[in-house]
Amino acid sequence: MQQDRAKHVAIIMDGNGRWAKRRGLPRAVGHQRGVEAVRRLVRGIEPLGLDCLTLYAFSSENWKRPDEEVDDLMNLMRRFIKSDLPEFVENGVKLKIIGDWQSLAPDIVAMLEDALAQTAGGHQTLAVALNYGAQHEIARAAAKAAKAGEITPEAIEAQLDTGDLPPLDLLIRTSGEVRLSNFLLWQCAYAEMLFVDTLWPDFKPEHLAQALENFDARDRRYGGR
C-alpha cells in the first residue's frame, strides 16, 4: 500500500539523566546536553520535509521530581527561548505550545507568549509539550465538545491541543523505554511507533532521517487489509 511521507513526527526525549549518570556527571549536565540535541534537531529538520515536529519537553508528572531538578529545567527553558528565538524567526520555525503551559511561572509564560507572536509567520511548526498530560488534554477536549453540544470523536479531536496540527504519523521514544508516558494518547491511535536505544543527548538529525526511512518501509492499513 503506497503511503505519503511522514509530515508530523513526535518524540519523547528520554535519557538525559542516564546519559549523565553513565559519565559520572550531574543530571543538570544531561539536561543541558539534551537541549543541545533539540537545537541540532530543529536545525536539521527542514531537509527532511516535515511539516511539524512535536517534542515532549516537560510533563505534568515531572513536577514530582526534586525541586532542584525542576528549577534547572525551568532555567534551561528560559535560556533556550532567549538564545534560540532569533534563529527560529530567521529560519521560519513556527512555535506552538501544547499542555497547561499558562500555569508555568509568569516570566516563562510572558516569554512564551512573545515567542509565539514572533514566530507566528513561520512555515514549519515546532510544537513543544510543556506541563502536558494526555489524559488531562482529552478530558479538557471532551468537556469543550460537550459544552458545544456534540460529543463525537471528530468533535473531541478538534478541541485537542493539537487540533490545528497535521495527524501524527510517527512517534519516537529514545533511551530504550517502551511506553507512552501519558503523551499524545489520542493522537497515537493510528500513528506508527519507534522505540530506539539511543539516549536523547546522543540523538542527531541522522537518527531522525533513519526513523523516517523506517516509516517509509511500513505498510499502514488503518484497520484495513
Catalytic site positions:
14, 62
Which of 134-143's residues contact partners 24+ apart within 8 Å by CB, and which partners?
134/180, 134/182, 134/183, 134/184, 134/185, 134/186, 135/182, 135/185, 136/60, 136/100, 137/98, 137/99, 137/161, 137/186, 138/185, 138/186, 141/186
Grid cell 497515537 in the structure block, residue: 188
Cα separation of 62 and 83, whole Å?
24
Which residue, 208, 202, 207, 204, is CA-closest to 30? 202
- In degrees and rounded to multiples of 5, residue 192 shows phi and psi of -75, 150
